[in-house]
Amino acid sequence: MIDIAVLRADPERVRENIRKKFQDAKLPLVDEALALDERKRALQTEGDSLRAARNALSKKIGILMREGKREEANAVKVEVEKDAARLSEVEKESAEAEAALKSVMMRIPNLISADCPIGRDDSENVERKRFLEPAVPDFEIPYHIDILERLAGIDIDSARRTSGQGFYYLTGEVARLHSAVLAYARDFMIGKGFTYCIPPFMIRSEVVSGVMSFEEMEGMMYKIEGEDLYLIGTSEHSMIGRFMGQTLDEKQLPLTLTSYSPCFRKERGAHGIEERGIYRIHQFEKQEMIVICKPEESEEWYEKMWNYTVELFVSMGIPVRQLECCSGDLADLKYRSCDVEAWSPRQKKYFEVGSCSNLTDAQARRLGIRYKTEKGSAFAHTLNNTVVAPPRMLIAFLENHLRADGSVEIPEVLRPYMGGTSVILPKA
């Protein structure tokens, strides 16, 4: 949610930002917000005048009563009662105008970075950097489900029977590898000075609407029937919500947190062969990183955060690249975002394994997250980034470490988490 002062001062800047995101249908929201803001301020002015008049008249009644002028005092009391009735109406109308204004403001996209490439969708994202040289082996790499089945590491058929499409069982050494990657990612981030957290996996609706747009909520979140609770789509939701309505001490910032959670999403793998299997699923686990900082620090943290993900993947011998997300690919609350993509030697292309975002003060305004300053308080900036999400990471890992005989090599950094195992062998 952007600052209403920005909208008042330069509404055309906000309109142009909407156009850059190719969301022209939202342009009328600017005028709607300005009208509601003007209405709210007019009611506030009228309310202040009525309160001031009430105070003055109350004093006048006291003076008249002391002077024995009861009839004049009673006449003034009638005036006070009339003003009180109007004040009650004004306060109700003011609350309604404020609620309507907030609803409209929450639908207006956050201002995007001046460096953000302009484009309609993810096909126009811009590659910035590559890390490690991508390679294609001289033997055929099977589809990732075939690799997993040859390792006796997955059971999709049983999951369909128990849970439906979009679920799976991981078994044996593959399941151990999955947990090893998460444990390694946890310790990797602790080594970077982040505090490890395990958050609640369900959150209330006021947190959901604070951390994401209405469109995202409808497309992602599972609601618990009969409860004001949603299953989290990522631990960022719960972690940012932890600070809702709080004013932090400036000395606490930056807060650097890394969190583990299962994640639950409505999305279904129905977009072609590369999004079947375990690429798009309803339930997965993830290690996330969260930063809450002062505004002047957020761009520096943005650069650090995506680089941490790159460093993690490179340490496991997986080539990656960084893509800057274009304007049309940014969710409404994002100021800027980039994807980290891993190399797929089977497809001979990169695919997304993580995303880093700077939301400036958009989430903080919606959730009321402030920090103390010498002049009072200010809204903090929030950032989030995927450390690692094993379903997609497993695909990249298996393809990049597969040997010609069907075995999978385990890099040095993961072996302590695998009981010293250096290779996973295919099963007969």
In the chain, what percentage of residues exceed pLDDT 70?
98
- 9-32 confidence digits (pLDDT tens): 999 999 999 999 999 999 999 999
Res 180 pLDDT > 70: yes
Question: At 161, which helix (H) or strand (E)?
Answer: helix 156-162
Classify strands 247-248 and 370-373 as parallel, antiparallel or unpaired.
parallel
Q: What is the mean pLDDT of residues 362-389?
A: 95
Res 268 pLDDT > 60: no
- Dist. CA 37–CA 39, nearest whole Å: 5
Confidence of residue 274 (pLDDT cuts 50, 70, 90): low
In the chain, what percentage of residues exceed pLDDT 90?
81
Phi, psi torsion values for 116, nearest 5 degrees: -70, 125
Least confidently predicted of 56-65, 85-94, 105-114, 194-203: 56-65
- Dist. CA 75–CA 96, nearest whole Å: 32
Confidence of residue 166 (pLDDT cuts 50, 70, 90): confident
Structural domains present in the chain = 4-105 (1.10.287.40), 122-424 (3.30.930.10)
Res 262 pLDDT > 70: yes
CB 399 within 8 A of CB 390: no
Q: What is the mean pLDDT of residues 52-65?
A: 83
pLDDT value of residue 277: 78
pLDDT value of residue 86: 87
- 130-150 confidence digits (pLDDT tens): 999 999 999 999 999 999 999
pLDDT value of residue 269: 42
Question: At 131, which helix (H) or strand (E)?
Answer: strand 126-131
Phi, psi torsion values for 299, nearest 5 degrees: -70, -35
**Contacts for 149 with CB less than 8 Å, ≥ 6 apart:** none
pLDDT value of residue 276: 63
pLDDT value of residue 415: 98
Confidence of residue 247 (pLDDT cuts 50, 70, 90): very high
Q: What is the mean pLDDT of residues 187-208?
A: 96
> Is 197 strand, coil or helix?
strand
CB 279 within 8 A of CB 392: yes
- Dist. CA 387–CA 290, nearest whole Å: 10
pLDDT value of residue 270: 44
pLDDT value of residue 1: 86
Q: How many CB atoms lie within 10 A of CB 27?
A: 15
- 217-237 confidence digits (pLDDT tens): 777 889 999 999 999 999 999
